[in-house]
Structure 1
Amino acid sequence: MDMKPVIPQCRVPKAVPVGKSAVLHCQENEGYPSAVYRWYRNSEALPDDSKSTLKFQNSSFTFNPKTGTLTFTAVNKGDMGRYYCIASNDAGSAKCEEQELEVYDLNIGGIIGGILVVLVVLALITGGVCCAYRKGYCTSSSSRSSGQSYKTPAKPEGVNYMRTNDEVGFYIIFM
């Protein structure tokens, strides 16, 4: 007994950068015999191959009507639109809800410019800290005025410091 397809599940990416690949899926498993699929963009049926029709020559997609997969090898601005799929067999057809596919440009110049600005700022900060250290601005004011810097005295050899019982419990002493 033939059974009409139910509403297919459609998966359309929300946004894809220009030049990147994209895959749109349409699937329905309850109809009998198995459904064949057709994708539509802005209410216009898409051919199985974009190169087979003059109207879609600027696109780069292939479509498999048996699996319901629409594959773009490299999207362009013209591929933007509202997509939906219809699953059909001898008993009838069903349509999924339209979904918007946005195609956007990557602003490579802006990204590179932003990275360069960050690198320049980091270089300036590093240079400023190095200069301040060399000129003595990073030492205490008392050592700058006397011209001497204070160094902690070295621990004399052979001297053992005594610790209270509480301290011994918290420290492991290696000698």
Structure 2
Amino acid sequence: MLEATKTSVWKNRYAISADGRPLAVWDGSLWTAGGTFELGGRRYRVRGNMWGSTYGMVDQDDTPVAAARRVGRKSWTVEAGGQTYAFHRASLWRDEQELRSADGRRLGSVRRTSMWRGDAVADLPSLQLPVQIFVLAVVLTMWDSSSATGAAGAVAAAG
């Protein structure tokens, strides 16, 4: 299981660990959807479109590794290694995305562990490790973007 711990209030940066062992740091961009991380000496770059609904990940050689489509919808997908993985929002009331099989069985999830700090865990055992981090990063980016949009709306309303 992956654990993401927000390292700064001011940045979209998360320390990612597995079983207490540091793996990577997700360094999310403040201005665009996406960011970077390094895993096992390889650098990965994640980029999203301006609406944050489509993301792609490439390695340091610009080789495509994974792609996510329809992010932010009730159902969305990730394609990696010739496989398509289906994700579903678990509930409108909590921050959790479920990985499901074709017949609807729950195979894993990404969920917030702390609303105040923004920490999260990802249990995605059927995905390769770089793809697990990609999914976690996409979900964190989606949640951070939603939080920023909500905060900006509250400031504008108080205006």
How high is the TM-score relative to the length of structure 2? 0.26
More helix, by proportion: 1
Query: TM-score, structure 1 length as denominator?
Result: 0.25
* Greater relative CO (CA pairs within 8 A, separation 6+): 1
Q: Which one has a bigger Cα radius of gyration?
A: 1
